[in-house]
Structure 1
Amino acid sequence: MTDRRSLIKSLAGAALLGATAANAQRAKSVTIGYLALLPGEDRMSFMASFMRRLNELGYVEGKSLHFEYRSADGRPELLPALAAELVGMKPDVLVTGFGTVAAKAAKAAAAGGIPVVFMAVGDPVGAGVVESLARPGGNVTGLSDLASNLQGSRLQLLREVAPSASVVGVVFNPGTPYAALAYKELGAAAEVAKIGLRPFEVRSAKEIEPQLLAAKAAGVGALVIFEDPLTLSQRSEIAMVVARLRLPAVYGYREFAEAGGLMSYGTDHGTQWRRGAEFVDLILKGSRPADIPVEQPTRFELVVNLKTARELELPVPPTIMIRVNDTIE
């Protein structure tokens, strides 16, 4: 009987210790740092998708998750100091938001130590953020915005909505590594379609309106606006000037269409940021960034602003409407 009682006590004690350990594990708080270049990125829809997915995975801010957010408010020169500040807090994972320069600043500050997950880098290999997509190497991995034939699809949309446009203007920031690849791909598609391209470079917000006016003066019949932190942060001004010039345009992200742009075709950022949260979860559970391949987008969305189309007196053909994922009235 004594041995039986001892066994029961031992089992009860082991169960109690196990429950205590499990509760301690659940109660353990992790710290995630988030470095943004864009102003107000924490209020954007894709950031909400990231936080929502973390919550679904069991990370509750204020309980099991401590979240530190820093934004350069559109000033890239501030990123190195902000990245160093976040690294000094010793987060379990450092996440970077939209754009290449934030990822590069985080990689430099983390210096092979703290894991880094980037959310939307156009050309992470060309920018030197990772060694390769399949084998990132080091302490950095994440999600790329680079996808084959994306620019060809955008050009096709413009051809459908503005079939008479024989010359298309391309507005982009040459300081973005992604821009060179995107322009090359767009050029290949334009050559097949026998459409001329005219580049219009913007390196700062003050250059946007003059370059759009130059595009109109050059006689372009439509515009492609490449996405990068500069153009995304100035999306409302771009959409307003383009509408005033009465030029049909296609943009990279739905945020441009929501700001008044005619249509956008690009990565589904809600899905992409949710996947980024899953990358963070994998790392927190022990995976090494070097062993997690960089993922390219597989889901894209077409958004049409019907209000802008009406203001431009531009009919949206049925071939586009049957493919649309969302409309803005």
Structure 2
Amino acid sequence: MLLKRLFLAAAALATATTMAHAEPKLIAIASFGEHPALTETADGFKARMTELGYVEGTDVVYDFQHANFDRSLIPQVLQQVEAKKPALIFAITTGLNQAAVRGITDKSIPIVFGAVVDPVVAGIVPDWEHGSEWSAGAAMLPNFKESLSFLKEVIPGIKKVGTLFNPGEDNDATNIKLINEAAAEAGIEIVAVPVDNQNDLPQRVQSFAGQVDAIFLIQSNIVQTAVPVVAQAAQRIKLPLFNSVYAPDLKDQLAGFHAISYWKNGEHAADIADRILKGEKPADIATYIPQPEDFDKLISVKGLEAVGLTLPEALKDSPWIIK
């Protein structure tokens, strides 16, 4: 009996020693660039991983790489990520995930995607009910029906809404298709102006003068990385500007936001990462689709006043007003 107890004690000690010396899992985070919204996605992911029991430095370590919004640098970033043989890659933005599908050659490394509008159209997953053999994640599919309903409350009588998009981006193509469908249902006309160079943004915004009642910005990389430029141009032509991404530093320049939470997107991606790390196959995991609670409605009184508008009487006590 004593020998049995000694054996069990030794086995327990060996197990504890092995656990104590277990190396933390490496989680690689790869992003298209450093931007407050994309940083929120990564921060939301890490915060949720901590909530799920993955203690940074003990259970997991993170390695962050980005391409500085330069497409030519994406292959290099992915090579560096793959060379470190991470347990999992959290890839942020559509373009980077598309490149990862082609560029990560070690298919034993699972990829979780975030900040992707439509992973099916982008070719990242085969359909909304399944991931690919090595990739699954959380989408940022917009709810333009709610967005336009919000605009109609803030700007009563609104008939035409302008937006900017990059015709070379799959994300943008999906956004334009969806916002036009929602607009037709809402009785609103969308005036979509293409832009493939940030230097052209002021001129493109200027083209909305006298043509639309407001501007609503979709989740377009080329636009979201230059919202201050768009805001200045919109103020010059006295058009209220609304965004699908919340930017606290611009809350006095924009009229409002119907914004999906990038932080929550990161949290939902972490939930999927947890399932994969516990052995579930990416192909068996459906893409997370945003729910109403994943969006925020915000109105800026100062932003409205900057273009000569006032808050409608019906919204004077609205919880949407930015204090």
TM-score of the superposition, structure 2-length normalised? 0.89
Aligned to 2:262: 269
Q: Cα deviations across residues 51-101 of structure 1 (Å, max 9, x unaligned)? A: 22222233333343222111111112211221121111111111111x210
Residues 137/126 of structure 1: CA separation in 2 closer, same or farther (3 Å cut): same
CA contact (8 A) 1:31 1:91 kept: yes
User: How do 1:198-277 residues align onto structure 2 when only pairs under 5 Å count?
Assistant: 198-216=191-209, 218-255=210-247, 258=250, 260-277=253-270
CA contact (8 A) 1:170 1:223 kept: yes
SS for the counterpart of 2:57 is coil
Number of residue pairs the alignment of both structures matches:
319
CA contact (8 A) 1:74 1:230 kept: no
Which of 157, 162, 177 is residue 169 of structure 1 equivalent to?
162
C-alpha distance in structure 2 between counterparts of 1:58 and 1:47, whole Å: 17
SS for the counterpart of 2:114 is strand
Residues 94/193 of structure 1: CA separation in 2 closer, same or farther (3 Å cut): closer
Structure 2 portions without partners, runs of 5+ = none
Q: Cα deviations across residues 221-242 of structure 1 (Å, max 9, x unaligned)? A: 1112111222111122222222
CA contact (8 A) 1:169 1:199 kept: yes
Aligned to 2:30: 35
Shift of the alpha carbon at 1:213? Answer: 0.4
Aligned to 1:151: 144
TM-score of the superposition, structure 1-length normalised? 0.87
CA-atom RMSD in angstroms:
2.4
C-alpha distance in structure 2 between counterparts of 1:42 and 1:304, whole Å: 19
The structure, 1 or 2, with the larger RCO (C-alpha pairs under 8 Å, 6+ apart) is 2
Q: Which moved more, 1:242-251 or 1:78-87?
A: 242-251
Shift of the alpha carbon at 1:132? Answer: 1.1
Aligned to 1:12: 9
Shift of the alpha carbon at 1:107? Answer: 1.5
Q: Cα deviations across residues 92-126 of structure 1 (Å, max 9, x unaligned)? A: 111111x2101111221223331101112111111
Shift of the alpha carbon at 1:320? Answer: 5.2
Shift of the alpha carbon at 1:219? Answer: 2.3
Aligned to 1:106: 100
CA contact (8 A) 1:141 1:293 kept: yes
Shift of the alpha carbon at 1:246? Answer: 1.6
Structure 1 portions without partners, runs of 5+ = none
C-alpha distance in structure 2 between counterparts of 1:289 and 1:247, whole Å: 45
